[in-house]
Amino acid sequence: MDIKFLEQLKNYPSKYPNDIDYQGTIEPISLQEIETLEQLYNNGNTFPKALRELLFLAGNYCYVLDYGWNETEEEIQNELQISARKWLLKYNKNISRPFFVIDVYNGPEQFLYIYLDEGNNPFVYQAFLPEQNNIKHFASLNKSLSEYINSLVDRVKQGYNPF
């Protein structure tokens, strides 16, 4: 796959490139797995290019994203999507447009996602599910997927934790 949006992730594939014991190197999923996810979560339509690149480069493991705790390394992305949709139901929330979760944090309360109908490099959004009057449940981070990933890779390159 030609990488256009996530060249930084491609060119800096390890969190600790000089560590002999643990490098934290990204792990891909196959094009076939990506196509299966497209069938399940985008009605068979192709995902935005930036998301396809992310999954192709680091769909199984990405040092700048947390895919959550999964029982197996197989179908990590599918388990992540199922879990987030269950959390939406638990908190009686709904996302009506086609979306794909890219990161989870704070257990079943918060996740990051993109809408699949915003072009090839969609914006990243945050879902905050518990009821709190002063916090929006769904909000844009005002960064495209590539801007978001690249900013986190830059943090790692500078020696900082991406989270």
Predicted confidence at residue 137, as pLDDT, reads: 84
Residue 2 lies in a domain: no
| Cβ neighbours around 44 below 10 Å, total | 9
pLDDT of residue 159: 85
CB under 8 Å to 143, separation ≥6 — which residues?
A: 123, 124, 151
Does residue 83 sit within a domain? yes
106 Cβ contact partners less than 8 Å away, ≥ 6 residues apart: none
Domain that holds residue 11: 7-157
Q: What's this model's pTM, rounded to 2 decimal places?
A: 0.92
Residue 14 lies inside a defined structural domain of this protein: yes
Distance between CA atoms of residues 76 and 5, nearest Å: 23
Instruction: Look at residue 73 in the predicted model and tell me its pLDDT.
Output: 56
CATH assignment at residue 77:
3.40.1580.10
For 64, the token pair is 């700048």
- Is residue 27, in this structure, part of any structural domain at all? yes
Q: pLDDT of the chain along its 163 residues, tens only?
A: 999 999 999 999 988 888 888 888 999 999 999 999 999 999 999 999 999 999 999 999 999 998 876 655 568 899 999 999 999 999 999 999 999 999 998 778 899 999 999 999 999 999 988 877 667 788 899 999 999 999 999 999 988 878 7
Q: How many domains does the chain have?
A: 1
Is 65 within the bounds of a domain?
A: yes
Structural domain contains residue 19: yes
Residue 163 maps to a domain: no
